[in-house]
Amino acid sequence: MGERPKSIKIIAWILIVVGVISVFTSLSSLNNPMVKELMSKNPLPIPLQYAMMYIGLAVSVICGIGMLKGQGWARLLYVTWGAIGILIGLITSPMKAAIIPGLIFLVIIAFFLYRPASNQYFAQG
């Protein structure tokens, strides 16, 4: 396999580290009344919101590991899951402006995941 682009290494490790840390921080907020109040304003049932959150965190960690191994499905899954999450947020979130940073982050990550050097790296995997 060819040399992994530095941008892929950075993105993958960010996904892994932030995903793992987010699992612990989200577990600590399970009984937070402010979090529950904010989640109750979303039309999706709270258990579904939690399920989507934990699945999303798992997807991030798995995709980060897959990217480190040069697996093309990992970048496709990450960008697809991210786009679906943004779309669901736009439809259901009572605070649409809070989605903008996530959208910007996803666009930047997708840019680096699909650059020519990245395409070459993932084509070998």
Residue 93: pLDDT band with limits 50, 70, 90: confident
Contact indicator for 90, 99 with CB cutoff of 8 Å:
yes
Question: What are the C-alpha distances in Å from 20 to residues 17, 59, 94, 119?
Answer: 5, 11, 27, 27
Identify the pLDDT of residue 35: 86
State pLDDT tens for residues 24-75: 999 888 888 888 888 888 899 999 999 999 999 999 999 999 999 999 999 9
Is 1's pLDDT higher than 70?
A: no
pTM of the model: 0.88
Where exactly are the structural domains of the chain?
6-123
